[in-house]
Amino acid sequence: MGGWWDMAAEELEQQYSPSRWSPRLGPDEVIQAHLAAAAAGTQRARAGAQTSLHVPYGDGDGEKLDMYLPTDPSGTFPVLVYIHGGYWQCLSKDESGFAAPSLVSQGVGLVAVGYDIAPKGAVLVSGVYDLEPILHTYVNDALHMSREVAQRNSPLLHIAPAAPAAAACKVLVAMAQHDSPEFRRQSREYVLALRAAGWSVSMLDLAGVDHFDIVEKLSEDSYILTQVILNMTLSA
């Protein structure tokens, strides 16, 4: 029996699109129904349970959680930690408290965890995007990769067409002047492949650095790559 790598792209997309497998409604309708039900259920839970909402657990704007407590939380009680789905692109903790009423009535607390969702952008620095050449080098003496494994884990070979939800996800591919010609070739080819698939991608060829200090210099405030990363993250 084959694995996912034997599937055609259309079949693989079908397998990883849960909305296409619901017998209740069509793909678009079942998503909208789920969003509505989850949001309405969460509002009911907030109105009827003892809560502590929007509690920060990190520095990010989305790094907050909601706590739904049993009626008598004076002692210890079990807690269900709920981390919402949505393929890291949609939903939030504000649609994640719907299970609270049935739990808190039995003395079980619910913590709905929020987190920063994608797109958040990607910075790829002096990377290897096609692993197959490594099979023929000393690097593979320790890795023992087969050709199948190399192909399965090569980003260059698994570029999905950019969906509308990914339009705001900006990708930066950075390479060093003194990277090897093969590293530089791979960076250029990955950029071209991403662009061909509709991704928003740019390339940064950094002069005067090698494969190592291209990242070491991120400790410097004035370093161009540091500034680019700050611009990407702060404007997201």
CB 112 within 8 A of CB 68: yes
Q: Compute CA distances 66 → 36, 59, 187, whole Å.
A: 19, 16, 42
* pLDDT for residue 146: 95
Co-location of 87 and 132 in the same domain = no
Number of domains in the chain: 2
Helix (H, G, I), strand (E, B) or coil at 70: coil
* pLDDT for residue 32: 87
Co-location of 30 and 51 in the same domain = yes
Partners of residue 72 on adjacent β-strands:
none
* 144: containing domain: 122-234
CB 177 within 8 A of CB 189: no
- The b/e string for 190-229 (b: 16+ C-beta within 10 A; e otherwise) is bbebbeeeebbbebbebeebeeeebeebeeeeebebeeeb
Co-location of 84 and 156 in the same domain = no
* pLDDT for residue 168: 64
Co-location of 135 and 108 in the same domain = no
* pLDDT for residue 12: 66
Co-location of 62 and 157 in the same domain = no
Co-location of 101 and 67 in the same domain = yes
Helix (H, G, I), strand (E, B) or coil at 37: helix
Co-location of 76 and 154 in the same domain = no
Tens of pLDDT, residue by residue, the chain (236 residues): 567 667 777 776 777 678 888 888 888 888 888 888 889 989 999 999 999 999 999 988 889 999 999 987 678 889 989 998 886 778 899 999 988 888 888 888 889 999 987 657 788 999 999 999 988 888 888 889 999 999 999 999 999 888 665 666 789 999 999 898 889 999 999 999 999 999 999 999 999 988 888 988 887 788 999 888 878 765 65
Cα 121-123-124 angle, rounded to 5 deg: 135
Q: Please state, in angstroms and rounded to a whole number, the distance separating the CA atoms of residues 227 and 205.
A: 15
CATH number at residue 214: 3.40.50.1820
Q: Please state, in angstroms and rounded to a whole number, the distance separating the CA atoms of residues 89 and 184.
A: 31
- pTM (two decimals): 0.55
Q: Please state, in angstroms and rounded to a whole number, the distance separating the CA atoms of residues 217 and 135.
A: 31
**Which residue is it, tokens 């408290």?**
97
